[in-house]
Amino acid sequence: MIPLPLARIAEITSGALSGMADPRAVVRGPVVIDSRAVEPGSLFVAIKGARVDGHDYAAQAIRSGAVAVLATRPVEGPAVIVPDAAAALAELAAAQVAALPAVTVIGVTGSAGKTSTKDLLARLTARIGPTIAPVGSFNNELGHPLTVLRAGMDTRFMVLELAARNLGHIKDLTRIAPPRIGVVLNVGTAHLGVFGGKEAIAKAKGELVESLPRSGVAVLNADDPMVRGMASRTDARVTFFGRGESAAIRAEGVVVDVRGRASFTLRTPSGTAHVSLKLYGEHAVENALAAAAAGYELGLPVATIAKELSEATPASRWRMEVTDRADGVTVVNDAYNANPDSMRAAFEAFAVLGRGRRRFAVIAALRELGDEGPALNAELGRMAGGAGLAALIVAGPEAGPVLAGAHAVVRGATAPGPHQASPPGWQMPDGGVAPQGGPVQGAMPQGGPVPGPEHGVPPQGWQVPVQAGAPQWQAPVAGGPPGLAPSPDAGAPYPQATRIVHVPDAEAAAAELARWLRPGDAVLVKGPRAMGLERTAELVLGGAAQ
Residue among 282, 285, 280, 279 at smallest CA distance from 522: 280
Is the torsion defined by CA of 301, 302, 305, 310 positive or negative?
Answer: negative
Q: How many other CB atoms are there within 10 angstroms of residue 513's CB atom?
A: 24
Q: What is the C-alpha to C-alpha distance for residues 312 and 116, in angstroms, rounded to an integer?
A: 10
Q: List Cβ neighbours of 41 (8 Å cut-off, separation of 6 or more).
A: 26, 27, 28, 29, 65, 67
Is the torsion defined by CA of 39, 534, 259, 108 positive or negative?
Answer: negative
Q: List Cβ neighbours of 415 (8 Å cut-off, separation of 6 or more).
A: 426, 440, 442, 443, 444, 458, 462
Annotated binding residue 452: no
Q: Are 26 and 49 in contact (CB under 8 A)?
A: no
Annotated binding residue 112: yes
Annotated binding residue 536: no
Annotated binding residue 111: yes
Q: What is the C-alpha to C-alpha distance for residues 70 and 17, in angstroms, rounded to an integer?
A: 9
Annotated binding residue 42: no
Q: What is the C-alpha to C-alpha distance for residues 69 and 75, in angstroms, rounded to an integer?
A: 8
Q: What is the C-alpha to C-alpha distance for residues 21 and 19, in angstroms, rounded to an integer?
A: 5
Indicate the helix (H) or strand (E) that contains 220: strand 217-221
Annotated binding residue 110: yes
Geometric angle at alpha carbon 116, from 358 and 32, rounded to 5°: 120
Q: How many Cα neighbours within 13 Å face the side chain of 104? A: 21
The DSSP string of 430-456 is: TSPBPPTTSB-SS-B-SSSPPP-GGG-
Provide the 3-class DSSP secondary structure of residue 523.
strand
Q: List Cβ neighbours of 420 (8 Å cut-off, separation of 6 or more).
A: 439, 440
Strands 217-221 and 237-242: parallel
Length of the chain in residues, anyone? 546
Q: What is the C-alpha to C-alpha distance for residues 147 and 80, in angstroms, rounded to an integer?
A: 21
Provide the 3-class DSSP secondary structure of residue 359.
strand
Q: How many other CB atoms are there within 10 angstroms of residue 411's CB atom?
A: 19
Residue 451's alpha-carbon distances to 164, 456, 460, 474, 498, in angstroms, are 45, 7, 14, 9, 10
Q: What is the C-alpha to C-alpha distance for residues 97 and 271, in angstroms, rounded to an integer?
A: 35
Q: Which amino acid is at 281?
A: G
Geometric angle at alpha carbon 292, from 290 and 297, rounded to 5°: 100
Which 3-state string (H, E, C) describes 113-166? CHHHHHHHHHHHHCCCCCEECCCCCCCCCCHHHHHHCCCCCCCCEEEEECCCCC
Which residues contribute to the annotated binding site? 110-116
Which residues contribute to the annotated binding site for ATP? 110-116
